[in-house]
């Protein structure tokens, strides 16, 4: 598994420089070159399955390549099949079984987490949850992620345990911890081994794109994973 940084690409201005998303307004030829460079530097065994992400819970099988259905997670059960999600503040989550026979990558923004995208990815892997390990990639940190009371209410309707991931600020709104929300969702699903976390896409502009920091006009970096 690997999350790239935003440098060493050919995109310019708000998308500088290794933007990997076709849907954000960048020139398609530059995105294509950035994707080629990513594949070359990582020696990817195949072209990643690029998803049409909509903050939902649908899971695509790698064998669905070319399908137009939207999905926010992907699973692969064969070696050399590369799964990918694009993010710029949302949390990328990689799941794999201990026997290294299947893998999943999920795009987990707050909407996806609340709706159950991690639970959907776990179910799609089709193995005992006790056999799974998870890794949390770069996302916006709690101090930079302010949300309204309605967001907190959505999570509390699922479980009161999610209250621990929200801290009220002086404006009467809340600072949400995506990492804590994901860890709680994974724990409640039975995934006991969770690694990663601790970055802040908002606070590291030289390394990461950030939708909030850059006013919505920015690129996306990728988290990719495959079975070697």
Quote the percentage of the chain above a pLDDT of 70: 98
Distance, CA of 54 to CA of 58 (rounded, Å): 9
Model confidence at 32: pLDDT above 90: yes
Examine the pLDDT at 137 and tell me if it is beyond 90: yes
Nearest-CA neighbor of 16 among 218, 155, 162, 225? Answer: 218
Q: For residue 145, what are its two tokens?
A: 């992620």
User: Is the distance from CB of 113 to CB of 185 less than 8 angstroms?
Assistant: yes
pLDDT in tens, 185-226: 999 999 999 999 999 999 999 999 999 999 999 999 999 999
Q: Show the tokens assigned to 118.
A: 């991690």
- Of 186, 190, 146, which is closest to residue 169 (Cα–Cα)? 146
Contact between 181 and 165 (Cβ < 8 Å)? yes
User: What is the tens place of the pLDDT at every residue in 114-130?
Assistant: 999 999 999 999 999 99
Tokens linked to 198: 């601790």
Q: Which two tokens stand for residue 161?
A: 């345990």
* CA dist 7 → 11, 20, 37, 78, 204 (Å): 10, 11, 11, 30, 12
**Is the pLDDT assigned to residue 19 strictly greater than 80?**
yes
Residue 82: its H or E element: strand 82-87
Digit-coded pLDDT (tens) for 34-79: 999 999 999 999 999 999 999 999 999 988 766 556 999 999 999 9
Domains of the chain, start order: 2-139+197-226 (3.60.140.10)
pLDDT at 65: 65
Instruction: Give the residue among 200, 10, 32 at the shortest CA–CA distance from 18.
Output: 10
Tell me the pTM. 0.97
* Tokens 């990558």 sit on residue: 105
pLDDT tens digits, 83-106: 999 999 999 999 999 999 999 999
Say what the alpha-carbon torsion angle 111, 82, 104, 30 is, to the nearest 10 degrees. -10
């Amino acid at each position: 598994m690997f999350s790239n940084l935003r440098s060493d690409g050919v995109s310019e201005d708000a998308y500088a420089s290794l933007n990997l998303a076709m849907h954000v307004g960048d020139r398609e030829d530059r995105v294509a070159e950035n994707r080629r460079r990513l594949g070359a530097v990582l020696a990817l065994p195949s072209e990643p399955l690029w998803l049409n992400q909509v903050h939902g819970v649908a899971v695509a099988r790698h064998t669905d390549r070319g399908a137009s259905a939207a999905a926010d997670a992907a699973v692969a059960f064969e070696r050399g099949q590369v799964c990918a999600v694009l993010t710029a503040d949302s949390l990328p989550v990689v799941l794999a079984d201990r026997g290294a026979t299947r893998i999943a990558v999920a795009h987990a923004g707050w909407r996806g987490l609340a709706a159950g995208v991690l639970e959907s990815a776990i179910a799609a892997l089709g193995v005992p949850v006790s056999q799974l390990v998870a890794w949390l990639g770069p996302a916006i940190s709690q101090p930079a992620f302010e949300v309204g009371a309605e967001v907190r209410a959505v999570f509390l309707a699922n479980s009161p345990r999610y209250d621990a991931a929200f801290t009220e600020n002086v404006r009467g709104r809340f600072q949400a911890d995506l990492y804590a929300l994901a860890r709680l969702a994974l724990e409640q699903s039975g995934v006991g081994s969770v690694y990663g976390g601790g970055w802040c896409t908002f606070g590291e502009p030289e390394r990461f794109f950030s939708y909030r920091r850059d006013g919505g006009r920015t690129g996306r970096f990728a988290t990719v994973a495959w079975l070697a």
